[in-house]
Structure 1
């Protein structure tokens, strides 16, 4: 499925000509669908927590391990190697192969009879997700020049919005109508459909094409060398830390939302799934659509707005989270939608900054490092911490222990906002240095 090529033999395109806007629009459409597929596979288990917990006899800590940490750990194992391969191997091959892997893994989850098989299936989804993320974002950066990149990434992020809606909504309905196993069986189908679409209709392009890079080949350096080059960019580690902590806050809330509603407010999983899916879809859709164009617009006045938008959104997310946990059931999911809208504003600017600061040849590595931090601290650590703390507090608070644990996750918003502010102070100089390096044709050839 995955073909290998050198930069002298990248197929299908003249070396210095971007594809037509019609093709690039189609490319974004397909990538939105692929992104929606993997995000829905990640989110669908959120609404199946209670039936799986009862059926397999799992604790909240075990659910946290299966639902989030297993996926995150294997994602980490996969993301860096596939980031390095995505410059010298076919991006379309990696993306198509990743979709096949996560689709098979969903089937494994559907047939799980115990904790360990379920853990294995979720780990496979993490493998596919980790293989998909770096090449997809680097591919977009290769096809869209900097002045269009924020908007293109906003469109790409619509896939996350669609997945966040489809996973819980479909999962809640299908689990009620057929059972949680059948819900997962049906959820595996879209990935198998998308594999041939990616393989037969998309084309690889030379890395850095949209930036005017004229490099004919990439010299692979050891990962440690490329890592040190990226960490020497002052804004980069600050932004990685801020993003990871902000994800901890968000996922510590969202991943437990249906269970919180069922235990605290007595809402059935089917109703919670539909309402959560709708809130996440609308909120993230609006946020993702506005975030990139807003940052592109404000960034023309002051480039620091690419960091100020994430900083402001992180602070506001904490305030909304506290309202979610202390208010009546009727406003929980509308506020979740507002929280996702606010958080969604930061996503495209974040991706634009990361891919813009990194040398062209190290973009996939930069994305991989960011995703490792987000998965370790945010997607893996946040929900598992909430589950562990909920178990610890249960003897005192009973079924309300989950809500108390979710309150503690809000504290992550404080250091996240501080780090984003510090990154905004160094970003202008780092962005100017990146542009100068590219203009001089001196971008170091780091690991992919």
Structure 2
């Protein structure tokens, strides 16, 4: 296997004078603010899926048009715009970029509530995607400059809890909030006019984001650590390609695992409804609780284990922990949709979600640990771009195709989910095992230009 330093055309060197790390209080305040912002963004995303019927009825749109609102309008612009936004974050104030990003997606979420046509709602969803594209690449870079490597995994794990918290809260309480607003009926406002209950929901979800944005007027921009003075002039893509055994093997492995994770979020509710006869409301509460109380602790424990292993001198701690989590997840991923008893299925789902949480705490730590400061946000954005294309683009569709074309129809969706999840997680495990030597070499290279950061 090729060592990353063998392929680098120009050695990387860091500035001579190191900088002190920020005070722990300010660092954790920033992590908390970033986590709240990230949680809010996932509530904004998830709430649309709970408003399918009232939006279709009120705007007279088809299922295909609604899928464009949930998919193309948001996901395409979120993933594609992440790369240029990340380039700005690697060069400028990440705090200010995040501030304006939160303002944009909050205003645009409120705009969803003011939309009275398909195209107005489509445009607002594009705005939400562009605003949210600013957050994670800048946040990962920022957190990495708040904490030295030995304490970084736990901090990144706290931030990485947000998708599970946001999605879980939306599933658990979103339906109830929507029902309360629906019972209150339409609202008439000056200038705006009449707002239907689904429109009021968007306004209620989006408006608090402006208060969250205000937190970033208090958050401090940390000094940059691990800045490389030479060897990065050719750009992020050439830097990553020269170390492809590290970067692209990891990114592809994480993305292949994402196929299983997204497939579960997309199809496990259908398994509970079709196989076990559950009502959608039951599924929302149960799955939301599992995301909050099983997956979220998994994220924290993944960060804690990684920091402990790193403190004991294990250079490949993030990938080693990820491999352990993936191997542990395989039996639960296969068994969950096949179990005939609903209670056992939920218990197995909780175990799988815990393992997935451990796994999902680690991509950020692994990628940040081997990226120069001026590339950290861009590496994250490239990972999101590739990861979303593979996981969102292939995972749920592959499950449906196997169920419809090979297994005989909708009642076999659980078997298809078990097949896709078992195969993809196994492949991801083998890819990460293959990446371990290259990753250790990249960590050794990184220590040369951030040795003061240990």
RMSD: 3.2
1:287 pairs with 298, 302, 312, which one? 298
Q: Are 2:357 and 1:354 equivalent residues in the alignment?
A: no
Aligned twin of 1:28: 31
Q: Retained in 1: the 8 A contact 2:296–2:354? A: yes
Alignment of 1:27-426 (within 5 A): 27-48=30-51, 58-59=62-63, 65-110=68-113, 119-179=122-182, 181=198, 182-198=200-216, 200-208=217-225, 211=226, 221=233, 225-233=235-243, 234-299=245-310, 300-327=312-339, 328-386=341-399, 392=404, 396-397=408-409, 399-400=410-411, 402-403=413-414, 405-410=416-421, 411-426=423-438
Matched residues, number: 417
Q: Retained in 1: the 8 A contact 2:26–2:220? A: no
Q: Retained in 2: the 8 A contact 1:47–1:258? A: no
Listed one character per residue, the Cα deviations across residues 338-386 of structure 1 (whole Å, up to 9, x for unaligned) are: 2221012123332122011112221111111111111111134433555
- In the TM superposition, what is the alpha-carbon distance from 1:148 to its structure 2 partner? 0.9
In 1, Cα distance between the equivalents of 2:159 and 2:147? 12
- In the TM superposition, what is the alpha-carbon distance from 1:85 to its structure 2 partner? 0.3
Change in Cα spacing, 1:412 to 1:214, as seen in structure 2 (3 Å) is closer
Change in Cα spacing, 1:404 to 1:323, as seen in structure 2 (3 Å) is closer
Change in Cα spacing, 1:400 to 1:128, as seen in structure 2 (3 Å) is farther
- In the TM superposition, what is the alpha-carbon distance from 1:119 to its structure 2 partner? 4.6
In 1, Cα distance between the equivalents of 2:121 and 2:259? 23
Unaligned runs of 5+ in 1: 1-14, 442-448
Listed one character per residue, the Cα deviations across residues 174-197 of structure 1 (whole Å, up to 9, x for unaligned) are: 233334714433222331221122
Q: Retained in 1: the 8 A contact 2:263–2:396? A: yes
Q: Secondary structure of the equivalent of 1:87? A: helix
In 2, Cα distance between the equivalents of 1:109 and 1:322? 39
In 1, Cα distance between the equivalents of 2:292 and 2:96? 29
Q: Retained in 1: the 8 A contact 2:338–2:418? A: no
TM-score by length of structure 2 reads: 0.81
Change in Cα spacing, 1:75 to 1:48, as seen in structure 2 (3 Å) is same
Listed one character per residue, the Cα deviations across residues 143-199 of structure 1 (whole Å, up to 9, x for unaligned) are: 11111111111222232332122221222222333347144332223312211222x
TM-score by length of structure 1 reads: 0.82
- In the TM superposition, what is the alpha-carbon distance from 1:80 to its structure 2 partner? 0.7
Listed one character per residue, the Cα deviations across residues 276-317 of structure 1 (whole Å, up to 9, x for unaligned) are: 111101122211111111012123243233212212322333
Q: Secondary structure of the equivalent of 2:90? A: coil
